[in-house]
Amino acid sequence: MSVDERKLDGNAIGGLLREIFTMEMTAAETTCAGCGAINALGRVDVYMDAPGAVVRCPSCESVLMRIVHGRGRYWVDLTGTRCLEFAES
C-alpha cells in the first residue's frame, strides 16, 4: 500500500480526540520542546490575560501551548510541547 493510499484526513481522528480531551488533564505530563523539562500540566505557568490562555514551561519560560476559545470554537497550539503524556481513565 502506498503512502497516498494510507493517508487520511483529520476526520479520522475526530473520535479519538474527543475521547482523549474529555478526561482530567492536569495530571498529564508535558515535555517542553525548548529545554526538555517534564512537568504535570497542573504545575506549568498559565497566563490568562492574553486573548486566550498562554501556557509556559516553569523551567525555561518557553510557550508550551496556547488555547483560545471564541465563537463556538477552540484553537489549541501545542508547538512548544514535544510530548503530552497521560494515562487512561
pLDDT (tens digit per residue) in 57-83: 999 999 999 999 888 899 999 999 999
What are residue 12's phi and psi, to 5 degrees?
-65, -25
CA distance 54 to 68: 9
Cα separation values, 78 from 7, 20, 25, 38, 89, Å: 22, 15, 14, 15, 22
Residue 33, pLDDT score:
98
Task: Give this prediction's pTM.
Answer: 0.82
8 exposure class (CB count in 10 Å sphere: 0-12, 13-18, 19+): exposed
pLDDT in tens, 19-69: 778 888 898 999 999 999 999 999 999 999 888 899 999 999 999 999 998
Domain extent listing, the chain: 25-85
Residue 16's pLDDT band (cuts 50, 70, 90): confident
Task: Tell me if 66 sits within 8 A of 75, measured CB to CB.
Answer: yes
